[in-house]
Amino acid sequence: MRGKRLGEYDLHIHAESLGIEDTGGVDGPRPVLVSLMGPGIGDEAVFEAEHADEVDQEPLIGFTPTHAVDVSAFCHCPVDHVVTALLTAAVMDLIGGVANIELLEDQVPIVTRLPGLVVTMTDPWPAAYGSAEFLRAWVRQPGFRLLK
């Protein structure tokens, strides 16, 4: 049995509360996990392990992150992808930061023209770094979906 971790929260978000009108027929609150990690918050070992294989982010985004906020849906419906992205954007409105979004190869050309994009990269995997504005613009694109 795992004890309570400071910095980990199970939420149930009504899609409509984020301005989502098309829920694809999915009713009720959507389950989401929000984890805060970094020095003094959450599990520092997990933070280090999750970022061990990433490239040096300072040249990409202008700073080296010391903390992370992970927003993860517990369901895989299209509305859950939108809830995850818009909840992440709302968190970023409060605390700032840059979102790191893993992409499929065919998504890279789509995101390169969106406002709020900081940078894209393809090695070691396709990814985009962007602002809350970027996340909101990405959600509005046809075929939008997040990985994992």
pLDDT at 141: 95
Helices (H), the chain: 44-51, 58-61, 78-95, 108-111, 132-139
Considering only residues 57 and 84, tell me which one the structure prediction assigns the higher pLDDT: 84
111 pLDDT above the threshold of 80: yes
What per-residue confidence (pLDDT) applies to 88? 96
What is the identity of the amino acid at 137? A
For residue 45, what are the β-bridge partners? none
- What is residue 105's predicted lDDT score, i.e. its pLDDT? 92
Write down the pLDDT at residue 113.
95
CB count in 10 Å sphere of residue 135:
23
Q: How confident is the model over 17-55, as pLDDT tens digits?
A: 999 998 989 989 999 999 888 877 776 777 777 767 777
pLDDT digits (tens, 9 = 90+) for 53-73: 777 778 877 877 778 888 999
**Peptide bond just before 124 cis, omega within 30 deg:** yes
Contacts of 39 (CB under 8 A, 6+ apart): 66, 67
Q: What are the strands, taking DSSP E only, across the chain? A: 8-13, 30-37, 68-73, 99-102, 117-121, 127-130
Decide the pairing of beta strands 99-102 and 68-73. Answer: unpaired
What pLDDT score was predicted for residue 3?
47
